Structure 1
Amino acid sequence: MPETNFTFRVEDDLKDRFVGAAQTNDLSASMLLREFMQNYVEKTEHDAWFRQEVEQGLVEAASPEVKLISHEDVVARVRASF
């Protein structure tokens, strides 16, 4: 996959501490930042997917064709299956 540069400003002290912490763990600062970015994007995409699924479920549950089952009935059915 092609790569590109990503430049941003950060305080000198934070940069030095971050690079030092990365080196302590035998990692590069760029590797850690790349991993953080990937995790953040994946989390954001998953959250968007999950919210969409919940919204769809709520719409489906609000349909008059849906037969609702009370909590007590669910508990009784589960207990009866054991």
Structure 2
Amino acid sequence: MTESTFTFRVDDSLKAEFSQAAKAKDRTGAQLLRDYMREFVRQQQEAEAHEAWFRREVQAGLDEANADKVVSAEEVEAEAAAWRVEIQRKLNGSAS
């Protein structure tokens, strides 16, 4: 892995407070900044992966709807009603 220097400007008081806080954690400011950078990159990659997955799922749903592969509201309600009856039966059975 090759390394490069990352230089940026920061308020003197913030730099001093950050260095002091890093030292209290037995870390250098550079170590913490590298950790923060890695974490930020990881979060962005996860967000991008989730966004891609979400878009694929939405497109799959749209494709199914466009192909008339849908479940009617009546079918969903009938299945939910049967599920509620079954759950209620189990709850009544366990209360005895």
TM-score class normalised by the smaller sequence = 0.7 to 0.9
- Tell me, in whole angstroms, the C-alpha distance in 2 between the residues paired with 1:74 and 1:21: 55
Asked whether 1:20 is paired with 2:23, we answer: no
**Corresponding residue of 1:70:** 76
Higher relative contact order (CA 8 A, sep 6+): 1
What residue ranges of structure 1 are gaps of 5+ in the alignment?
none
Q: Which has the larger radius of gyration?
A: 2
Give the TM-score of the pair, scaled to structure 2: 0.71
Aligned residues: 80
* More moved, 32-41 vs 64-73: 64-73
Secondary structure (helix, strand or coil) at the match of 1:70 reads helix
Q: Partners in 1 of 2:77 and 2:30 — Cα distance?
A: 51
Q: Which has the higher helix share?
A: 2
Provide the C-alpha distance between the structure 2 equivalents of 1:8 and 1:25, rounded to a whole number of angstroms: 23
Q: Which segments of structure 1 move beyond 4 Å, counting only runs of 4 or more?
A: none
Root-mean-square deviation (CA, aligned residues, Å) is: 2.3
TM-score under structure 1 normalisation? Answer: 0.82
Identity %: 25
How far, CA to CA, are the matches of 1:48 and 1:71 in structure 2?
A: 35
